[in-house]
Amino acid sequence: MTSVGGGAGMLTVLDGRTGKQHSIEVSADGFINASALKRITAGGDGVGLRVYDPGYSVTAAACSSISHRAGPTGMPHYRGIPVNELLGRASFTEVAYLLIYGHLPTRDELAAYDQSITAHSYIPKQVQQVIYTMPSTTHPMTLMMAGFTALGACYLGQNPAVAGQGVYKSAEVQDQLIARVLGKVSTLAALVYHKVTGSYPTPPKASLSYAENFLYVVKADGNQDYCPDPQLVKVVEMLLVLLAEDGLCCSTAAVRHLASSGVDVFTAMAGGAGALAGINDGGELEAVLNMLQEIGTPDDVAAFLQQVKNGHKQLCGFGPGNQAARPLTEQMLEELAGLHTDDPLMQAGLALQVLSVLAET
């Protein structure tokens, strides 16, 4: 097996200013501790070297066992398990449990976990009112930010500014907040969808799974007997699993930075939602939807790709990608094809993926 970053050892640095040699330990993952550079001084004010790395291009801000990739273009792993072994086999809540607690849940653990999340899926009326009083042209991610902020106002007993900085040291409080955030974010996203489309959601149903409940709140339209399409439920589950963990991306970093100041969970989540809206983070998904709307139908895909080839258009989110991720893409395409939908954007997206890959092979 190839060692990561060259493996462990010692790095010898020759300071040309002083002629001194310095030894810095290199970890098994190929990292050095940047604070070791502070020991390298050359007179003057006695301040050691500092690292300037805009964009964290070669800087790791955290060390985590939650997820990793096997190399820069490798298959993502959740707690050591390749994602392709989870996709289509594990539910989103199973994967969430795995990521948070480090192991897949037993049947009893999963049942209790699902029940806890579902119990927190209701959105208080005050929060719903905040969402629906926003202008009709408000961006969905701005609505998510407003929703998170409003939720924070509903749970002051778990806000460090009110309950004290030690409130989050309680494992019971931590578990409750994890379930609360997971339960409410799905319903909040559905609520935002209804606000944008000018409709009203159906309250979540306790008997449904996480993915089923999201689709139920989005599509039931008041019909309590509505049952989400099982194939669509499976696709949503797979999407949620794929998006469950993305390392220290911009939005995750934003949440960590805010949390380090001692703010409440919902304020940190609002900041993460703001970062997620950016084109260099989750906003790229919106760019894909806008591109598909511009293309229109499968018949227009070839002409669009020709414009991309000529440099007149930009291709967002499609193409061959890295080899390790291709099995994940193929799994998703197979499930999407099974929906048998006439939605033109879906059909255009499927055609675009096939033709864009062929164009690069």
Stretches in the chain below the pLDDT threshold 50: 1
Amino acid at 361: T
Contacts of 201 (CB under 8 A, 6+ apart): 187, 190, 191, 193, 194, 217, 218
Instruction: Find out whether 254 and 271 touch, Cβ atoms under 8 Å.
Output: yes
What is the C-alpha separation between 116 and 103, in angstroms, rounded?
18
> Distance between CA 166 and CA 160 in Å, rounded?
7
Structure tokens belonging to residue 181: 């955030």
> What SS3 class is residue 133?
coil
Alpha helices in the chain (DSSP H): 83-86, 92-101, 107-119, 125-132, 140-154, 160-163, 171-197, 210-219, 230-243, 250-260, 265-276, 283-295, 301-309, 326-337, 344-360
Query: According to the model, what pLDDT value does residue 285 have?
Result: 85
pLDDT, tens digit (0-9, with 9 covering 90-100), for 195-239: 999 999 999 999 999 999 999 999 999 999 999 999 999 999 999
d(CA 58, CA 324): 22
What's the confidence (pLDDT) of residue 316?
A: 85
Q: Which residue has the tokens 């905040």?
A: 130
Quick one: pLDDT at residue 1?
44
